[in-house]
Every structure is written in C-alpha cells, then in structure tokens.
Amino acid sequence: MSKAPPPPPSGAPASPSDVAPSRAGSGSSAPPSERSLAKELAFATPRKLPKAHDLRGRVVVLDVAFASEASGGGFEKITRPFIEGLGPRLAMWVDHHDSDEHARYEGDARFFLTTKAEHGACPEMVTPELVARAGQVDTIVCHTDFDGLASAAKWMRGGVESYPGADDDAWAIDTRLKRAGSIGERFDRALRARPSDHGLFGLVVRHLSHGLADASLWGIIDAAAAELLPIEAETRRVAEKYVRLPPGVAVVDVTTASPHRATPSRIDKTQLLLLGQEKEAVSVVIDRDTVTVAARFDSGKNFLKLLGLSGGMPTRVSVPKSRLRDVLLALGIAPEAYPV
C-alpha cells in the first residue's frame, strides 16, 4: 500500500476543466481561481458502487473502501469490476481504509491508498499537489459520510479546506477519538439523521465547496440535524439492554430490544456502538441482518484479521448475521455465556 502518492505517470493530463469554483467565505482560504469544479457527483459505499458506464468523463474516487468479503461479494465482484470498467478514465482513487488488495496497485500513480492508522480521515490526503496531478476530472465519486463529502468538496476547491479546521473535523468524526468543532458537528448530525438522503449529500457538498458562503443552506442542514434527537433518545434506550460478557465485550440485540413495538424505531448504530464501549472495550450490535463489532480507533484491535476479512476498518466490521456464533467465539465468548 502507498504511504505517499506515487509519482505521476508520463503524459498525465494536467489541464483544468472550465468551471471555476466560488470564493470561500470569510475566514477561509479561497482556492486558486483557475481551479475547476468537477461537473458531476456520484455517491457510493463499498457495497454499492455506481455503474462505470453511467459516469461521465474522467473520474476520481474519494473515501470509498475496497469491498471486503463482508460486503456481499468482496473485491473481486464489486470493486475490481468497477475499476476495470473505468479503465483509463480513472484519474485517481484516494482512500484510507485497510485492504489486502491495496498491494495490487502498488506503484500505480492513479491510486493513493493508505491504512486507517496512517490517515484517520480522507480529506487530509486531498492536497493541492494531488488535485493538480490528477488533471481534469469530470465526475467525483465519494462516500456518503462527512469524511467523503468533505473530501469531494476539498477536491472541488483544488485541495483547499472548506473552512479552517475542516480536515480536523473530518478526522474527529471518522475516528470518534475527540469531538468535532461546531461546524463539523452540525454537518455530522444532519448526515446521521438522514444517512440515505442523496439530496442532502449534494447540498452538503455544495455548501462546503463554496466555503460556507450561502448561510441560507444552514437552515436545511440544521432541520435535518434536529431529526437526530428522537433517534438518539431511542438509541440510549436500546443501549440499556447491553449484556456485559467476559472477556470485556458488551453485546446488544436490537431485534429483541423493542419486542412490543409494531414499527421498530430508528437507532444510530454508531452511537449505539460507542455507548457499548463505555461499558466494555468491545461492543457488538446484532440487528436483523448483520453483526457489527467495534472498538476504539486507538485500541490496537484488528477485527479484520480476527475474522479473516481482507479489507475495511480494523476497529469496526460488519458481517452477516449467520456468522454470529463465529464472531462470539473469535472474541473469546464462551457459547454458554451468550447462546445463539
């Protein structure tokens, strides 16, 4: 895997496209006026990538991990066909999630791939030099969390932060080791409340890419963030159902936490996992389809190796619910302690 971006290939394009970004708001460094905005955005997760033939022109991929076996097909069925479908139209792939498959692209100048330990968040990897080296880009494909959307906006701005401290906010939100600043927290809460709202994703990128210049956009973002309040309340209620098991694991099954509710209320899985880690070093959340295991970013734990997975985030993994017994045994939980 690359710890620094490899040198550009001979003949790599460097000309910008013809759409200039707006100037940043007060207190933020404006991007160079000759920098260009990518003309189109596409939102993705490791499991759900867009069709390569639907993406226009040269493409950059930001903060999208290589799919692992836990993603319902893995690298060979999901990521590799996408890369090969783009072919020479792939301008750059920038990501910070661990994967054994990174070794395939060692030395390929189109790939800047690191581990989560090397870069806790993706925006800090998007520099003016990297954007310039990629050359003209027509489409940005990015992950749908704040980390990914902030990376897209920073790329549009030629590698310049949307506001002072935006990179730090992304790091705080993605590692959960400290609290983000007030601006990052507003974005994060809105996105957690509406994790599938593509309209909100586009608005967030727009606001960030224009340096927060249009204050009216905050109304929509803050309204979305307000929707998180009842979700947080339900999440705290479900967290009371955690079972603490040796050797230091907290387990909760959300499918049994609301047995008398006709329509289960939404919960915030990230918050629920963090609440479990307040009880034990490792938290496990069981839902209808998956088992998610998590620990602090700086815990030193690697659930990828523990569960035999090729890629993802070492301290947070999700696998099909059919693997629940395997997960509990791998964590050292005796079968009689939590019958499956």
Give the mean pLDDT of the chain: 88
Helices (H) and strands (E) in the chain, counts: 12, 12
Pairwise CA distance, residues 229 & 321, whole Å: 28
Sequence ranges of the domains in the chain: 40-226, 230-330
Tokens of 165: 């401290």
**What pLDDT does residue 261 have?**
55
The CATH number of domain 230-330, selected from 1.10.10.10, 3.30.365.10, 3.10.310.30, 3.30.70.20: 3.10.310.30
Pairwise CA distance, residues 89 & 33, whole Å: 25
Reduce the DSSP state of residue 308 to 3 states and report it: coil
Reduce the DSSP state of residue 282 to 3 states and report it: strand
**What pLDDT does residue 204 have?**
98
**What pLDDT does residue 32 have?**
40
Q: Contact at 8 Å (CB) between 42 and 78?
A: no
**What pLDDT does residue 305 have?**
92
Pairwise CA distance, residues 159 & 130, whole Å: 8
Pairwise CA distance, residues 35 & 18, whole Å: 9
Encode pLDDT of 15-64 as tens digits: 223 233 332 333 344 444 334 456 799 999 999 999 999 999 999 999 99
**What pLDDT does residue 28 have?**
41
Contacts of 211 (CB under 8 A, 6+ apart): 22, 23, 24, 25, 28, 30, 157, 162, 163
Residue type, 259: P
What does residue 16 show for φ and ψ, rounded to 5 degrees?
-80, 160
Tokens 């509406």 identify what position? 194
Positions of the chain with pLDDT lower than 70, given as ranges: 1-38, 71-72, 258-264
Q: Nearest CA to 190 among 217, 155, 158, 153?
A: 217
Cis preceding-peptide flag for 31 (omega within 30 of 0): no
